[in-house]
Copies of this chain bind each other. A is one copy, B any other.
């Protein structure tokens, strides 16, 4: 489950209306609705705010937020798994000090 589904799940668990979250993010409820349905992307700072309001772990939620962005790149790709492997390799190389 990625970001959009997750914040919806959390919100429903807490029985909060979208309106309340939208207000906290200072956006229209329609916009918030779109974020929850994956039609709009939340901003990074908004993820943090949401984690607070929904009382969930910031890092975990941020990971889902990032995952959703990546997913949108590969979701229709035949070789999605292979591509992810390639990136995984690059991340490891990067961390091992082979910067840039």
Contact = CB atoms under 8 A, between A and B. Distances in A.
Contacts of A92: 81
A69 B63 contact: no
A3 B86 CA distance: 11
Interface residues of A, number: 27
**Copies of this chain assembled into the complex:** 2
A27 interface: no
Interface string A79-100: 1111110111011101000000
Interface of A: 2, 59, 62-64, 66-67, 69-71, 73-75, 77, 79-84, 86-88, 90-92, 94
Q: Looking at chain A's contact residues, is the secondary structure mostly helix, strand, loop, or mixed?
A: helix
A86 B59 contact: no
Nearest to A77: B66
Contacts of A62: 79
A81 B91 contact: yes
